Structure 1
Amino acid sequence: MTAWVVLFSIAGLLAALISGRVRPAVAFVTLAGAYLLLGVVDTPTLLQQYTNPALVTLLLLLLVSLALERSPLLDWLSQRLLHGRESTATARLMGASALLSAFLNNTAVVAAFLGAISRQQRIAPSRLLIPLSYASILGGVTTLVGTSTNLVVNSFALGTGGFELGMFQFALVGVPVALITFGVLLWCARALPHHRPEDTEDKLSYFLAADLQPGSEMVGKSIEENQLRNLDGLYLLEIERDHRLISPVGPDEVLQAGDTLVFTGEVSKVQTLQRFPGLKLFGDQADDLLATNLVEVVISHESELAGRTLQAVDFRSMFNAGVAGIRRGGKRLEGQLGQIPLRVGDCLLLAVGNDFRQQRNIDRNFHLLSGSFKRPQLNRTQSLLTLGGFATVIGLAALELLPLFHGLLLLLGGLLLGRVLSPVELRRRFPFELWMIIGSALAIAQGLEHSGAAALIAQGIQTLFAGHGVYAAFVGCYLLTLLLTETVTNNAAAALAFPVAWSTAQAFGVDPMPFIMAVAYGASACFLIPYGYQTHLMVYTPGRYRISDFLKTGLPVSLTYSAGVLLLTPWVFPF
């Protein structure tokens, strides 16, 4: 009976994750707590999962990456890759992204290239950003530290099987699969859209909401009389009045106090609104807001703004900046902009003061796309010592001379002693949600195992593939993981699929290693939908993409990647 209760609870967890209404950390922690109260797992087992050595190793790696991502190496590369023919530049960018992502956090790699690609004018960013994101995934699957997903799988292998995976064990399949998929990706990139900044479609991508204040001389005059019809670079799209929308807006429409005027327009023309008295942009006077620097940012996956509205947060107090505009991919945002919940990957146009860069919460919440502000970088000595120290740690771990956990702990201590990182920065950027998700997922996996639910699923898979052999079951586990990673998140997919894959291997009485690798590679196979992987969300809006762009490019890539994994994994890791 307990096994069925656990299975239904997992179905509820999946439904919550797919709906997007519940943050993954909340969903996983709640279910882990429910298992504790119901006696599915006991207190020592639950607490042990949050101190899993492989999980702590992942946290150390992410903290060390805070220093690595500030190395000028990434910016130096981004300025030198995009020359020559477009196809050559794309291949060069993909290769650099993959190589760096094999050892660095792929989010940091994409963030470093994102600004440079968005600012340059030679090649349309939409031709480069999807290849950049996909290449970072392909590079990440080749090493243990290349993606958090591999380290999550490693934590499960340690917790369940009592063994750890090697640094380059993933490369045996990952490298040839990445090389084959690279060719397909480069071919598919030719069909990506050309969205240049001068295109009309891109000029109309920002949405600005301006409130008309009582007492303004614009009140009681028509659109024509207020000269709102032929604005330079801006277009009055609609008016929000008494919770209803007036669209399209005719030239004879008379403005009323309290109207919200919704404009679309290009970044460089937002200053046009300064000449209209009595307009407030997202609660700030237009002339005050737009008299400062304009900076374009993307909301990061760590941001506390995700799921919240601009009206619900005290934005100016948090960041010493005002919001001048908002856009989301190529989508038409509808309704009252101040009440639209923000998403990871949304672009905001900020009017900032001179001390914006000194705000302590900028790096956690935003990736900078444009503007005169740059993230603080390490000096040459700090950069060489940081990169050299990291390379030494990876090399010693690969040669099995020093455990990765020990090496990263020593390196983190050295970075703190050398003042490359500070305790305040570590506290501010600590991946608390990821720690809660994975720790809770490990506890849920224990519940699946101890309750018999995982064995029940494995029996179902064994029955389903009876007569087709263990290879069919292996394919089924991979496809299950791929489906989960496209609908929830990659780490959640690995957490939910691992116990099933492990129990399936036990049910067939075979070596679990190919099933473990199926979960690792399958959890990184997010190529079809932008919402399942954080780097896709990072490039979604700057590239002015639609979901169809990911589908058209990602389907051949996903099929090639999957075929390579399913053919090579059982050959490299026999059953």
Structure 2
Amino acid sequence: MITSGLVLTSVFVLLVLLVRGVAQPATLFGLFSIGFFFAGLIEQTEFLSSYTNPAMICVLLLILTGLVLERSALITQMSKVFLSGSTKASVFKLSIMTSLFSAFVSNTAVVAALLPAVSKQSKIDPSKLLIPLSYASILGGVTTLIGTSTNLLVYSLAESQGITGINLFTFTGVGLILVVAGCALMSLTTTEDNTGTHAADKPIEVDGNPQGYFLESKVKAGSSLVGKSVIDNGLRGLEGLFLLEIVREDRLISPVRPDEIVQTNDRLIFVGETHRIQTLQHFDGLEVFGSSAGELLESNLVEVVIANQSELVNKTPREVDFRTLFDAAVVGIRRGDKKLTGQLGRIELRVGDSLILAVGADFKNHKNLERNFHLLTDEPLQPKLSRKDNWLTLGGLALAIGLASTGVISLLQGLMAFVLFLVGMKLLPAGQMRRRFPFDLWILIGSALVIADVMTSSGAAKLIADYTSSVLSPFGVMGAFVSVYLMTWLLTELVTNSAAAALAFPIAVSSAAQYDAAALPFVLAVAFAASSGFLIPTGYQTHMMVMSPGRYRTMDFIRKGTPMAILYGLICVVFIPLFFPF
């Protein structure tokens, strides 16, 4: 009893830390799982096996295959076909297409592939498409075992508890109902776009108007600045301003090195707080005329979104030496619908922030871009697959899934063979796998298995189930089932989908045991509910990916997500017991 109470208290502390965002979920789960191990609550063999679980390895292999599949031209080509007709029809067609791809490819990879095409097209206001794009990727992900890491996590937990009955298409019946109903709802609740002016029609904006952050100055003949370096002239470290680029005749110098020698007629482009113009007036022979930087500078701008696994999260551009790290300078930051102002180098970056970068010639050669950014540009960082490679890749994935679904080989064997095929075809370089290997997800899932095991073996999960049973006794097994769904849904809105599934799973299994009911419907309730985070953008990666490009506020997700969450929940609590009786 004492042990179960301590475990329960620890899990409560973990939940509070997750909600408060003290650290990344993977870090918190990892520390608590290690703590349970040192406390002797789990054996060494079980602890280590949690991090080599077959289903978890499948998750990692799927993410690696997604690195190739996101380069498939098929996804972006199809998006152009589906973005036609009325706004309602386009939303429905785009949602169906996204759901289809997300059933077999990581939803983050699908959204990353479609984000540039959807956000930069000019037919329909992107703000009407990007939330449906994110929601549809979730709906598609729940239709198969491999569609989302959450399903595979729940499968791992079920396997560790000896619960059988989950295979590649166990989720498909309920999932397809969710896809059709959810896509129809998004289409019906979308207003037609009659404004005639779309976000994508406008040039990249900084400070509310094109290139509004920039101050342009010219070095006149006879200026004392001529012949001296940038650093010697005191042009570095100006309060509120940063020397971004130098335009010399028809050549753009970017980034500007501290030892760059200033010449007559150089145009110096500063970025930052434009009201600091008086700072430049103190320099002899520097003519400030506050115009835009012109077409040369405009062609040098790139918009990116901070990725979930980025090393920049919770750090400032100055802290990481952004210019050296990426051969680019930050000239604008947008967070949702808000443009951040002030000294941009001192702003802590967050997942989903949209950055306007003035990039140097070496920008796209940097190997760290894919891990840190989603580029909103028509020119991908990696070349698109050729027609031959495209069909080989898609065909190989279909073959691996087909053989696994018929029981000829295991899913792990199929995915492992597929990854080896991609490596052999030189479509998946070792360097790319190393840079984008999902270490955080590996730690999170492995630690989740440890914590779930400890909650079960210590009796902590049973304590919660006993209390729930006493409260819901008038409603019987159906009341317990609904309570498991609602508890998991609340957790996924407060923390993350994987964390919610890990915390709710042992409680769900114990709740089923209280009523001597089959565990499978309760387990599936956890899986589906953990993927029902439609309200809070920080709760799901794809929401953060579309938030800034769509200029969304949290209230936009709450408004659009509330009817989706209600419809999704009703379908789950009605159809899961029909497909999988208690």
Same fold (TM over 0.5): yes
Amino acid at match of 1:279: F
The Cα offsets for residues 183-238 of structure 1, whole Å up to 9 and x where unpaired, read as 2221222289976356899775589878999x99xxxxxxxxxxxxxxxxxxxxxx
Q: Look up the equivalent residue of 1:196 and give its one-letter code.
A: A
Where does residue 279 of structure 1 map in the other structure? 270
Residues 75-112 of structure 1 deviation map (CA, whole Å, 9 limit, x = unaligned) = 21122221222221111111100111111111111111
- CA offsets per residue over residues 414-452 of structure 1, 9 Å max, x none? 111111111111111111000000101100111111111
The answer to whether structure 1 residue 554 and structure 2 residue 557 are counterparts is no
Partner of 2:137: 136
Equivalent position of 1:46 in the other structure: 47
Pair 498,329 (structure 1): closer, same or farther in 2 beyond 3 Å: same
The CA distance in 1 between the partners of 2:429 and 2:203, in whole Å, is 45
Aligned pair count reads 523
Secondary structure, counterpart of 1:465 in structure 2 = helix
| CA distance in structure 2 between the aligned counterparts of 1:63 and 1:12, rounded to whole angstroms | 33
**Deviation for aligned residue 1:290:** 4.6
Residue 333 of structure 1 pairs with residue 340 of structure 2: yes
Give the direction of change, closer, same or farther, for the CA distance of 1:203–1:325 in structure 2 (3 Å limit).
closer
Instruction: Map 1:124-523 onto structure 2 (within 5 A).
Output: 124-161=125-162, 163=164, 165-190=166-191, 196-197=199-200, 204=207, 258-260=238-240, 277=268, 279=270, 290=297, 293-333=300-340, 336-370=343-377, 372=379, 374-523=381-530
Superimposed CA distance per residue, residues 269-328 of structure 1 (whole angstroms, 9 cap, x where no aligned partner): xx9xx998583559xx99899587211011111211112111211212222222121111
Q: CA deviation at 1:546?
A: 1.0
Shift of 1:379: 1.5
Using the aligned pairs only, state the percent identity.
44
8 Å CA contact 1:296–1:371 kept in 2: the answer is no
Letter in 1 for 2:518: D
Tell me, yes or no, if the aligned pair for 2:300 and 2:358 is still in contact at 8 Å: yes
Say if 1:209 and 1:337, in contact at 8 Å, map to a contact too: no
Instruction: Tell me, yes or no, if the aligned pair for 1:28 and 1:441 is still in contact at 8 Å.
Output: yes
For normalisation by structure 1, the TM-score amounts to 0.85
Q: Is the 8 A contact 2:313 2:350 kept in 1?
A: yes
188-197 vs 320-329, which moves further: 188-197
Distance 1:63 1:201, change over 3 A: closer
- Contact kept in structure 1, 2:207 and 2:339, CA below 8 Å: no
Match of 2:473, SS state, is: coil
- Aligned twin of 1:10: 11
- TM-superposed deviation, 1:182: 2.0
Runs of 5+ in structure 2 lacking a partner?
221-236, 243-253, 255-264, 274-279, 281-291
Q: Deviations over 1:367-426 (max 9, x none)?
A: 111365553222222111111010011111111221110011111111111111111111
Task: Measure the CA separation in 2 of the matches of 1:193 and 1:344.
Answer: 32
The corresponding residue for 1:83 is: 84
- Equivalent AA in structure 2 for residue 467 of structure 1: P
- TM-score between the two structures when normalised by the length of structure 2: 0.84
CA distance in structure 2 between the partners assigned to 1:156 and 1:17 by the alignment: 21
Separation in structure 1 between the aligned mates of residue 215 and residue 87 of structure 2, nearest angstrom? 44
Unaligned runs of 5+ in 1: 217-256, 263-270
Aligned 8 A contact 2:163 2:519 in 1 = no
Tell me the distance in 1 between the aligned counterparts of 2:203 and 2:360: 30
The answer to whether the 8 Å contact 1:526/1:532 transfers is yes
| Partner SS for 1:469 | helix
- Partners in 2 of 1:419 and 1:202 — Cα distance? 39
Local SS of the residue matching 2:475 = coil
